[in-house]
Amino acid sequence: MDRLRVAVLISGRGSNLQALLDATAQENFPAEIALVISNVADAFGLQRAALAGVPSGVIDHKAFADRAAFDQALDERLRADRIELICLAGFMRLLTARFTEAWQGRLINIHPSLLPSFKGVHTHAQALAAGVKLHGCTVHQVTAALDDGPIIAQAAVPVLPDDDENSLAERVLAAEHLLYPTALALLAGRRPSPSATDARLINPPPLSAEAPA
Ligand code: GRF
């Protein structure tokens, strides 16, 4: 089977990366994790990649003059490794519009709330403060606007009377670990054959090139 080549971008512990590694280790899963990139050298997720035998790399944002230069280095590495889809999984860097547009439709994220509610950080505290009875997580396409792209899949969990931020986070995280592989399978399974696809979607032009017409 021709499996979709996926890169996972992380900055930290990588528990969602682990869920994706575990799911894609199954022979009949329609995608493979071909590359893990971290912008933080000591991210624990890099150890998970190594244990799974998946190639990984560090692109340290502090080594670049600005966001555009960091994104260009990232873009070059992803293309060199023939990546077809990028999964952000606890990747704590804002990407430039140039990057998100170049990878439009090929760049997804998991966010710990039921979007469009509770964008940004501290989503569990936001949910508790709002008094919602249902909370959850969302896998969505990434666009230039923060936590704003089209929604692919969501999972809901109850907010219980005794919840604090930690207990709620734990319940949502367990749902994330089921949702992200499910959403990836959905996307990868729907992948059109290259012959039926605009080649630009499979191989978007490099960021250093002129903007496509
Ligand atoms: C997750 O809650 C994810 O939704 C958010 O950042 C957290 C990353 O956790 N974007 P992990 O690194 O996957 O364990």
Residue of 173, 177, 179, 184 to mutate, ligand 1, most atoms within 8 A of C-beta:
173
Is 127 among the domain residues?
Answer: no
| Conformation bin of residue 206: beta by default, left when phi > 0, alpha when psi is -120 to 50 | beta
Report if residue 170 sits inside a domain. no
Average pLDDT over residues 98-105: 97
3 state SS of 115: coil
| Host domain of residue 93 | 4-111+138-151+179-197
Query: Domain tally for the chain?
Result: 1
| 124 has catalytic annotation | no
Q: What is the DSSP letter of 82?
A: T
Please spell the DSSP secondary structure of 144-183, one letter per residue.
Answer: SSTT-SPEEEEEEEEPPTT--HHHHHHHHHHHHHHHHHHH
Question: 190 CA to middle of ligand 1, Å?
Answer: 25
% of the chain exceeding 90 in pLDDT = 88
Residue 88 lies in a domain: yes
Average pLDDT of the segment spanning 84-108 = 97
Domain assignment present for residue 131? The answer is no
Q: What is the mean pLDDT of the chain?
A: 92
- Say whether pLDDT at 185 is over 60: yes
Q: How far apart are CA 74 and CA 9, in angstroms?
A: 10
At 172 the pLDDT is 98
For residue 90, being part of any structural domain is answered with: yes
Answer whether residue 106 is part of any domain.
yes
- Residue pLDDT, tens place only, 165-174: 999 999 999 9
Ligand 1, atom 8, lies closest to the CA of 90
CATH code for the domain of 107: 3.40.50.170
Is 22 part of a structural domain of the chain?
A: yes
Cβ-based neighbours of 112, under 8 Å, separated by 6 or more: 123, 124, 137, 169, 172, 173, 176
- Per-residue model confidence (pLDDT) at position 190: 74
| Pairwise CA distance, residues 76 & 98, whole Å | 13
Answer yes or no: is 118 within a domain.
Answer: no
